[in-house]
Amino acid sequence: MSCNNSGNASLVQHLYRYIGDTVTIFTTSGGLSGNGFTGVLLSVNNRFVRLLTQMGDAPTHPISGGSETDHGCMPSFGNFALSEGDNLLNSSKKGGGSRLGSICDIPIDRIAAFCHNAV
C-alpha cells in the first residue's frame, strides 16, 4: 500500500492540525488495538503518527536525595536490583519512579478512525 495517494495526503494534513492535542486513533488491526489508542499527538509524517500514550514518572528529589548520609550531595536512587518476574516498565522497586512511559507509532495506512475534540 502506498502512502502517496491523495486520501492519505489529506488525512496527514488533517492529523497535523492536532499535534499537541489528546486524540484517539482506531486502527484496522484486531485484538486490544480494536479499543483504539488515546494519547497526545506528538508528530505526524507521510508514513506514521506518534502518540504519547502514557506519561512517565517525574524524578523524585532531582536535586538532593533526602537521606541523611549523603548530605544532599548525591541523589538517592534506592534499590535497583530487580527480582525475577519484575517488569522494568512498571516496577515500583526502581528508585527513579514507577513508569518509564509509552509511545505508540501508528502507520498512516492502518488508521480506520481519528477522533478529537470539536473545539
pLDDT of residue 45: 94
How does residue 64 score in pLDDT terms, banded at 50, 70 and 90?
low
Residue 65 scores a pLDDT above 80 = no
Q: Is the pLDDT of residue 82 over 50?
A: no
Query: In this predicted model, what pLDDT tens digit does every residue of 34-62 receive, in sequence order?
Result: 788 999 999 999 999 999 998 887 777 66
Query: Could you give the domains of the chain?
Result: 1-55+101-119 (2.30.30.100), 57-100 (no CATH)
Which of 2-6, 25-29, 82-86, 98-102 ranks highest by mean pLDDT?
25-29
User: CA–CA separation, 96 vs 94, rounded Å?
Assistant: 6
Q: Where are the alpha helices (DSSP H) in 1-119?
A: 6-16
For cell 480494536, the residue is 34
User: pTM above 0.85?
Assistant: no
